[in-house]
Structure 1
Amino acid sequence: MILVILLVLASLALSLLITIPFTGALVRLRANYNPKGLQLDDEGNVEPHTGPVVTTFFGMLARVKRIEGWAGLYKGLMPSLIETAVLTLFAVFALNADPRYRGRTTPPESGIIGTLVYAVFSIILSMPAIIISYRAVTTPYRLPYFRPMYSLRILLTPTERRRPWTLYLTPGLFFAQFLHSAYAIIVLRTVRRFLVPTTPDANAGFEIHPVKFTIYAAIAILSTAILCPLEVIVTKLAIQRNHAAAEYNSVEQEVEPDAVSSEEYSEYSGAEEDVIGLRHEKDPYLGLIDCARRVSQEEGWQALYRVWWFSMLVGVGSAFA
């Protein structure tokens, strides 16, 4: 059993090595702040937006490679690896799930109660994991793989480190993540059980009825209209840092002196620009609805559907999970 678990963890680590560059480009593209109109500076003067304008997934992937190199493509690897390992071990030891038939994002087949327990645990774990992973991907600073405390000083504010539960109070983030998980697990998974059931024998594969599978695929595609905006909102809210007071907008400016000396990727590569532009922390989103409204007003409603085809492929691919 231990050997099987080790092999599964090794295969998951290998899959992360393949998928992390693409996941990082997805997160960056959805997090990039690209307002349509003119902005106001601190003195109320009108100034044009000067941040990067990147509208395509592969354009973002190429931009990351050009500015940050291979190291930049694998930002966020360690948080994702730790989250995957913890969820896998929890599913195996606590829910008695078979590790050989569990994907990274697939809840174990352990009944309704087991699925709900796993869902609750995954949401509790995923909150800090998502925040740390997304900030690791979008930060311009170089983060060492094996110095977690140093990296956390860069990614988290002193307030968040002193009171870790503050991460769960990030305005709108928990609610957005809960809605996304609830829809994916309760709605889509329930529909899948009726339309695309699996046989009791895992080695026998799937019993797929063409009409039912088509209906499920159509539902999954239409669900993109709900899931994609939630994913964009989760991304934007996750990188929004929590401070002791609104007037403090960086680690160096918060209550305690906590300046961290770290090299930026742009300095290392010789580039004079960051990969993405971020919204000013002095004007944060106040919640899920506020985020959706302001993204639509400032960046256009299309910004809520960045890389919508990825959400669609994940939904359709869940039929084979």
Structure 2
Amino acid sequence: MLGLVEIIFLYTTLAFILALAVPFNGVLVRLRANYNPKGLQLDAEGTAVPHTGPVVKTYFAMFRRVYRLEGIPGLFKGLMPTVIQTFAVTIFVILFVDTEKPRHSKYRAPDSGILGTLFYAILMLIISLPNTILTNRSVTTPVKLGYFNVMHALRVLLTPTELKKPWIIYLTPGLMAAQVLHILIIVLVLGPLRRWLIPEFSEASPTLEDVSVVRVVLYTVVAVVITALITPLEVIATRLSIQRNHASAEYNSVQQEVDGDAEPVEDYGGDEEVIGHEADPYLGLADCAKRVIHEEGVMALYRAWWLTFLGIWGNAFF
């Protein structure tokens, strides 16, 4: 059990990391959620018209666009749900996970054996999925959300049906499937290969004396293959997470209607939104993958793949 000084140091470090991570994660969510068709579209009369939304294909181009349109406050959208999830997961891992080196990340769960790690990862998915949805929607919405006005934020981010029946968000088409596949690849494939190739870094106090360069190179190859498998799942999960359930017919799947007696909302400046949206909802994981490839090209499923690779590779050593 950690002492008071260690706990204070831990949460101070987490606060510093979040101050850096939230803006970069928000840009990543926007980049992967951005709808950028490669061809012409048809209007209501069947006439071909060019796409009029933002054409942003790189991470740093999206970063500049967010800063230009929404400023510093826009870079910190999604801060509150991220803070809540991070601190809650940290407390859970410290108190309940029996391991010499407690850790939790997207690409490496606490080492508690394959079955234990798989159970932990699925449990954390069930607990954190609503928060992930709220985070991604708060990042991509053009509406300004206060940090402490919870009910107003929920009315903006969730449809009336989702507010009345919160469990519906678990039934978001394809989202749970994408997340579970992601977990299975990490826990059943990446984890065992990491422990086999570089077992030194699974110890509480790893030493570099016995580290084999050849094994590190082999693990790097494994990281490349895993990146190729899970980056599309991450892009698809991002698209599906911002897709609202049971939205009214006059709104598209990623816009939220505001009741007539609701409080007025304030948007980030101008009529120009940071990202473009697909009007027609995706029907599931396979439908999302097929339509993204057909409409935007296969490389749209690999946006910011290098960040996924760095996450996989770095989490093995640090």
TM-score over 0.5 for the pair:
yes
Contact 2:99 2:111 in 1 (8 A): yes
CA contact (8 A) 1:158 1:251 kept: no
The code of the aligned residue for 2:308 comes to S
Q: Does 1:227 align with 2:230?
A: yes
Native 8 Å contact 2:36 2:296 kept in 1: yes
Change (3 A) 1:160 1:44: farther
Deviations 1:46-101 (A, max 9, x none): 43211010111111101111110000001111111111112111112222456x75
Please state whether the residue corresponding to 2:316 is helix, strand or coil: helix
Residue 109 (structure 1) aligns with: 111
2:219 maps to which residue? Answer: 216
Contact 1:76 1:134 in 2 (8 A): yes
Answering whether residue 244 of structure 2 is matched by residue 241 of structure 1, we say yes
Q: Which residue of 1 aligns with 2:297?
A: 300
CA shift, 1:13, in A, is: 2.1
1:291/1:217 Cα in 2 relative to 1: closer, same or farther (>3 Å)? same
User: Relative to 1, partners in 2 of residues 1:182 and 1:257: Cα closer, same or farther, differing over 3 Å?
Assistant: farther
Q: Compared with structure 1, are the counterparts of its residues 201 and 116 closer, same or farther at alpha carbon in structure 2 (3 Å cutoff)?
A: closer
Q: Distance in 2 between matches of 1:311 and 1:146?
A: 31
Structural RMSD (CA): 2.2
Structure 1 residues 154 and 43 mapped into 2: Cα distance closer, same or farther (>3 Å)? farther
Q: 1:50 aligns with which of 44, 52, 72?
A: 52
Q: Distance in 2 between matches of 1:47 and 1:260?
A: 36
- Deviation of the 1:248 alpha carbon: 5.1
- SS of the residue corresponding to residue 315 of structure 1 reads helix
Q: Structure 2 length as normaliser, TM-score? A: 0.90
1:74 is matched with 76
The amino acid that maps onto 2:103 is R
Q: Is the 8 A contact 1:83 1:125 kept in 2?
A: no
Secondary structure of the structure 2 residue equivalent to 1:137: helix
- Residue type of the partner of 2:184? A
Deviation string 1:99-149 (CA, Å, 9 cap, x unpaired) is x75254442233344322321221112311221111111110111111121
C-alpha contact 1:36 1:298 (8 A) present in aligned 2: yes
1:278 is matched with which residue? 277
> Which consecutive residues of structure 2, in runs of 5 or more, have no partner in the other structure?
none
Aligned mates of 1:171, 1:73 — CA distance in 2: 28
One-letter amino acid matched to 1:225: A
Cα deviation, residue 259, structure 1:
4.5
Contact kept? 1:91, 1:118, Cα under 8 Å: no
Report the AA paired with residue 295 of structure 1. V
Q: How far apart are the structure 2 equivalents of 1:126 and 1:45? A: 44
Partner of residue 312, structure 2 = 315
- Conservation of the 8 A alpha-carbon contact between 1:119 and 1:181: yes
Higher mean C-alpha displacement, 199-208 vs 310-319: 199-208
Partner of 2:140: 138
Q: How far did residue 200 of structure 1 move?
A: 7.8
Spell out the pairing of 1:56-205 with structure 2 (5 A cutoff): 56-97=58-99, 101-102=102-103, 104-105=105-106, 106-198=108-200, 202-205=204-207
> Which residue identity does 1:238 align to in structure 2?
S
Q: 1:185 Cα shift?
A: 2.0
- Letter of the 1:262 counterpart: V
- CA distance 1:51–1:258, shift in 2 (3 Å): farther
- Shift in alpha-carbon separation, 1:84–1:258, aligned structure 2, 3 A: farther
Alignment gaps of 5+ in structure 1: none
1:182-219 per-position Cα deviation (integer Å, ceiling 9, x unaligned): 11122101111111113786234455222122111101
How far did 1:314 drift? 1.3
Instruction: Give identity over the alignment, percent.
Output: 50
Per-residue CA distance 1:252-309 (angstroms, 9 max, x = gap)? 37xx75745211112xxxx4411111111xx210000000000011111111111111
Work out the CA distance in 1 between the residues paired with 2:90 and 2:274.
Answer: 33
Change (3 A) 1:200 1:141: closer
1:221-275 Cα deviation digits (max 9, x unpaired): 122111111111011111111016656545437xx75745211112xxxx44111
TM-score norm. by structure 1 comes to 0.90
Question: 2:181 & 2:132 partners in 1: Cα distance?
Answer: 15
Contact 2:236 2:285 in 1 (8 A): yes
Could you tell me how far apart the structure 2 residues matched to 1:257 and 1:142 are? 18
CA distance 1:192–1:274, change in 2 (3 Å): same
Q: How many residues matched?
A: 312
CA distance in 2, matches of 1:37, 1:97: 51
